[in-house]
Amino acid sequence: MPHRKRTRLTMSLLRTSAARSLRLPALITGILFGVLSGCSSSDDNDDPGVDIPGDSGDPGTTVVLEPLPNPPLTEAPSADDEPVPFDSVFHTVTDYALVRDTGPRIEDDIVADLTEADYAAGLPEAVITVPAGVDPAINGAPYFEGLSNVRVEAGQLVDIRYVPRDPEGELPGMFPQGLPDGATFDDNFDGTKSLRWQTYQADLGVTAFTVVAVDPANSEYRSSQTVLIAVDPPSDPASVPNIAPSILPIARYTVRAGDPVSIFIIGTDRNGTVPSIELLDPPANAFLTPDERTPEWQILQAVPETAGTITFDVLTRDADDPALTGLDQIILDVLEPAEFERSGDRLKTIAAGSGIEFGSAISPVFYMQADGGVYESIAGSEFGVMTPESSMKWIAINPLPGRFEFADMDNLVSFARANAMKVRGHPLVWHRSLPDWVEETAVEDREVHMREYITRVMTRYSDDVDYWDVINEPVADEGGLRDSLWLEAMGEQYMDIAFAQARELDPTAILVLNEYDIGFAGPKFDALLSLLDRLRAREVPVDAVGFQLHVSSNFDQFDELASNMAAIAERGLDIHVTELDVAIVDDDSDQIQADIYRGIVETCLAQSRCKVLQSWGFTDRYSFRTGQTPLYLDRDYAVKPAYQALQESLGGN
Ligand code: XIL
């Protein structure tokens, strides 16, 4: 089962972020993942396609759903899972009520750690991404020389030198995918780079660290090489120095005068203990409150009334040695509300004038960020439809069998209602963002698990959801179907079953099949078309195709995008652009980025079946590709050229 191994590793890689051993709440891990991954979705999606028997022949028969088992395979949501009111001291929302989950916070159980067995299996195989048009027989993939897994004792320094090579003899570039907490990735100025990581007790266990080598001739042609680093307990604990604690996040935010600010602060100590937290000389009206579920975490609340810079000095005190303290600063740049105003009409209004809906993905728990107030007011005014960026993923909603965490999604629904926004449910069935327990289900049980999950989510949210991304990313990058635990269990019919189940639960919603890298011609788009034809032949209730459109500033295949959309439209399906963002590559300018946003909007407007256009976030601060500044407001909510390009092009100008 090759996909199992790979999926587990991918999930563990996500945890390689600084969040790994620090037990962060979802909001901070979510953001760190975004910050640290800095990669397109396709980087994680490397499965070779699977040939489907009968691919070109008989499409098979229409599925009929059996009743679900009673009692169910896993316990359905119960009163125990119902969220409770969330005190406003913990968040930035002022005009409607929020909720929170109860019970012990679920963290490490969700994703099994990498184990000694993973370590013992040796250096993981490199994952190679081959873009369309590259023939690996002519242009060999870049690789690293002489790497192996590494073992140290806590307290020791990890020092791994990365020597990139290319079969054609040129020097590949490289970048790390996230760094272990406290590590640096240093340029040795001889074509090599080094991971340097001073380990402590907080790092015990096996950690994955991935570096991506970039082909000198084609920057999309990449090899991701993971090294596993095992950190053992120190044989002499006294030899590990006790270092000063610190906090997460250490950050600077731009906020709006008059908005409440709430910042989740977690004391961290690389020695593996939990420090206490104090505010030194707090400004008036600033105070700390412990988190109800995790009392060692604190929420800093303040309402900055006037423009200016506010610095919070946060003192952390070591648990073993109270004289050992850390001092960190959280800085707020407070701007007058007028500074955030954008000229012209709002995007949703302009889009409506052209007959389409405009919207965005919304970050998980934005209301527990310092800048939640301004985030919400911009999102609330600009968007007519929203997708929960992560709050509806299986790992978020149902992290353990029979256990449900609905609060984050409930709050986004409240946000959508308060702002009269439509909601896209996303995603019901995907091969990623699955909790470990789902990854470990027996093949013969998976169909029921999938249907139970769809049923539980749709039962709770159907009244508020207009569009459902029922199936996410089913096609392999090279064509064929993506190898996944769903395909393994049910074959292609997993899609038939999921769509039939969704239709049964919500006869009026628009049901979507969502996919990335289908905005240009190639084997992946061809495979999508033949999949759609088979689904249609079996009367599977697909209403629309979602074009994710995570593109880069070198995108120029507008003609191919138009003809791909036309091919979907010819099949009687609607088109939704679901996850548009434009990563800046090759030092391209913001103006080039703006032109690509414009071109994509124009292509959508020229196609009468293109009905919804949503970006994947709107501010570069909260983007899963933040390092490539792919959005149309910058980190401080200032408009970029792309914003104006959206206004003009959505209005047909
Ligand atoms: C991404 C989120 O943006 C990240 O914050 C999260 O860590 C991983 O998932 N295609 C999809 C989205 O359908 O759900 C993905 O969202 C991005 C790629």
Over the stretch 289-316, which tens digit does the pLDDT of each residue have? 998 888 889 999 999 999 999 999 999 9
On the question of pLDDT at 113 being above 90, the answer is no
Contact 450, 494 (CB under 8 A): yes
- For range 39-47, the mean pLDDT: 40
Q: Which of 382, 389, 405, 473 is catalytic?
A: 473
With the most atoms of ligand 1 within 8 angstroms of its CB, the residue from 43, 366, 389, 391 to mutate is 389
Which string of DSSP letters, residue by residue, matches 570-631?
HTT-EEEEEEEEEE--TT--HHHHHHHHHHHHHHHHTSTTEEEEEES-SBGGG-TTGGG--S
pTM for the model: 0.85
Which whole number is the average pLDDT over 72-83?
Answer: 97
Our CA angle for 423, 40, 546, nearest 5°, is: 35
Tokens of 32: 């760190």
Residue-wise pLDDT for 614-629, tens only, equals 999 999 999 999 999 9
Burial 472-511 (b: 16+ CB within 10 A, else e): bbbbbbebbbbbbbbbbbbebbbbbbbbbbbbebbeebbb
Cβ–Cβ < 8 Å for 119, 205: no
**563, 521 Cβ separation under 8 angstroms:** yes
Spatial CA neighbour of 256 closest among 336, 311, 343, 331: 336
**Ligand 1: centre distance to CA 272 (Å):** 30
Quickly list DSSP for 590-606.
HHHHHHHHHHHHHHHHT
Cβ-contact 429, 514 below 8 angstroms: no
User: Which of 180-189's residues contact partners 24+ apart within 8 Å by CB, and which partners?
Assistant: 180/16, 180/18, 180/20, 180/207, 180/209, 180/229, 181/18, 181/20, 181/21, 181/22, 181/270, 182/270, 183/158, 183/209, 185/211, 188/161
DSSP string of 218-256, one letter each residue:
-TT-EEEEEEEEEEEPPSSGGGS-----EEE---EEEEE
pLDDT-derived band of residue 103, with 50, 70 and 90 as boundaries? confident
Q: Which of 230, 229, 326 is nearest to 269 (CA)?
A: 326
Residue type, 262: S
CA-proximal residue: ligand 1, atom 4 (nearest) = 624
- The residues, any chain, with a CB within 8 Å of residue 200's CB and separated by 6 or more, are 154, 155, 182, 240, 243, 270, 271, 272
Residue 284 pLDDT? 84
**What DSSP state is assigned to residue 367?**
G
Give the Å distance between the CA of 390 and the centre of ligand 1.
7
- How far apart (Å, rounded) are the C-alpha atoms in residues 545 and 558? 18
Are 406 and 397 in contact, with CB atoms under 8 Å apart? yes
Provide the greatest CA pair distance for the chain.
75
| Mean of all residue pLDDT scores within the chain | 90
CA torsion through residues 599, 603, 605, 611, sign: negative
Q: How far is CA 50 from CA 47, 444, 492, in A?
A: 9, 20, 10
pLDDT, one tens digit per residue, over 143-164 is 999 999 999 999 999 999 999 9
* Cα-based distances in Å from 169 to 142, 172, 215, 217: 10, 9, 11, 11
Measured CA to CA, the distance from residue 452 to residue 67 in angstroms comes to: 11
Pocket test for ligand 1, best of 27, 33, 625 (most atoms within 8 A of CB): 33
Banded model confidence at residue 60, pLDDT cuts 50, 70, 90: confident
Strand 183-187 versus strand 127-129 pairing type: unpaired
H or E segment at 346? Answer: none
* Residue 1 scores a pLDDT above 70: no
Q: Is the pLDDT of residue 110 over 60?
A: no
Residue with CA closest to ligand 1 atom 3: 624
Atom of ligand 1 at shortest range from CA of 37: 7
**How do residues 515-559 score in pLDDT, each as one tens digit?**
999 999 999 999 999 999 999 999 999 999 999 999 999 999 999
For the segment 450-487, what is each residue's pLDDT rounded down to a tens digit? 999 999 999 999 999 999 999 999 999 999 999 999 99
Q: What is the pLDDT of residue 15?
A: 30
Answer yes or no: 579 catalytic. yes
pLDDT at 524 (0 to 100): 97
In 296-445, which residue ranges form alpha helices assigned H by DSSP?
Answer: 347-353, 372-382, 394-397, 407-418, 436-439
**For residue 457, how far is its CA from the centre of ligand 1 (angstroms)?**
18
Tokens encoding 478 = 């090279």
Q: How many CB atoms lie within 10 A of CB 279?
A: 18
What's the confidence (pLDDT) of residue 591? 98
The band of 22, judged by pLDDT with boundaries at 50, 70 and 90, is very low
pLDDT of residue 49: 56
Q: Which tokens go with 452? A: 């139970």
Tell me what pLDDT residue 181 has: 85
| Rounded-to-integer distance, Cα 470 and Cα 279, Å | 47
Quick one: three-class SS letters along 253-286?
Answer: EEEECCCCEEEEEEEECCCCCCCEEEEECCCCCC
State the average pLDDT over residues 342-367. Answer: 97
Pocket of ligand 1 (CB under 6 A): 30, 33-34, 41, 389-390, 427, 472, 516, 548, 579, 624
pLDDT of residue 59: 80
**pLDDT > 90? residue 32:** no
Q: Confirm whether 602 is a catalytic residue.
A: no
Residue-wise pLDDT for 377-432, tens only, equals: 999 999 999 999 999 999 999 999 999 999 999 999 999 999 999 999 999 999 99
143 forms beta bridges with: 165
- Residue 189 neighbours by CB under 8 Å, 6+ apart: none
Pocket test for ligand 1, best of 14, 28, 366, 433 (most atoms within 8 A of CB): 433
Token pair recorded at residue 386? 């929203």
Q: What is the 3-state secondary structure (H, E, C) of 179-208?
A: CCCCEEEEECCCCCEEEEEECCHHHCEEEE
Question: What 8-state DSSP symbol labels residue 88?
Answer: G
Degrees (nearest 5) of the Cα angle 392, 72, 109?
50
- 389 CA → ligand 1 middle, Å: 6
Q: Which tokens hold the place of 435?
A: 């909790």
Strands 261-268 and 246-248, sheet pairing = antiparallel
| Structure-model confidence comparison of residues 11 and 585, the more confident one | 585
Q: By percentage, how much of the chain surpasses pLDDT 70? A: 90
pLDDT of residue 27 exceeding 70? no
How many angstroms separate the CA atoms of 464 and 417, rounded?
8
Cis before 241? omega within 30: no
Protein residue whose Cα sits closest to atom 6 of ligand 1: 390
* Placement of tokens 């449910």 in the chain: 425
Instruction: Kindly give the distance from the C-alpha atom of residue 469 to the centroid of ligand 1, in angstroms, as a whole number.
Output: 13
When pLDDT is averaged across residues 5-29 and rounded to a whole number, the result is: 33
Look at residue 513 and tell me whether its pLDDT is greater than 80.
yes
With bands split at pLDDT 50, 70 and 90, how would you rate the model's confidence at 50?
low
